[in-house]
Amino acid sequence: MVSGRKPTARNRTGNVDKNAAGKNSAVTSLALPNIAALIADGEITVGVLRPIGCVATATDRHNCLAMLVRGRGETLTQLLTRLDLAIAKAFTEDIFTDEINSPSNTS
């Protein structure tokens, strides 16, 4: 017997409700200029990295600019704002932030 989650049927519409974003003022007022500049030629990733937890990373074609660990009680908005600031530091000062491989996150 195979165990695991069974796929659930999803209602797929093929597009996002553009009016829904306007209803959440916290999202619409969030300005992340460095993330916007980066994703023109790079990428960001937000997700779970076990056993560390939720992380956010930013890379361009050649370098990992920032790797952040989401703090306890930190909102997604706060994490993305910190990521935007870390990207700015990498762009302007060549300082690359790595919270994932810091001594406090290694066994």
pLDDT of residue 99: 97
Q: What ranges do the domains of the chain cover? A: 18-105
More confident residue, 11 or 81: 81
Question: pLDDT tens, 18-74?
Answer: 554 455 445 556 899 999 999 999 999 999 999 999 999 999 989 999 999 999 999
Checking if the pLDDT of 14 tops 80, the result is no
Whole-number Å distance between alpha carbons of 21 and 2: 40
Res. 7 pLDDT band, cuts 50 70 90:
low
pLDDT of residue 15: 57
pLDDT of residue 25: 47
- Indicate the pTM of the whole model: 0.73
Please list the alpha-helical segments (H only) found in the chain. 18-23, 25-28, 33-38, 76-93
Omega prior to 7 cis, within 30 of 0: no
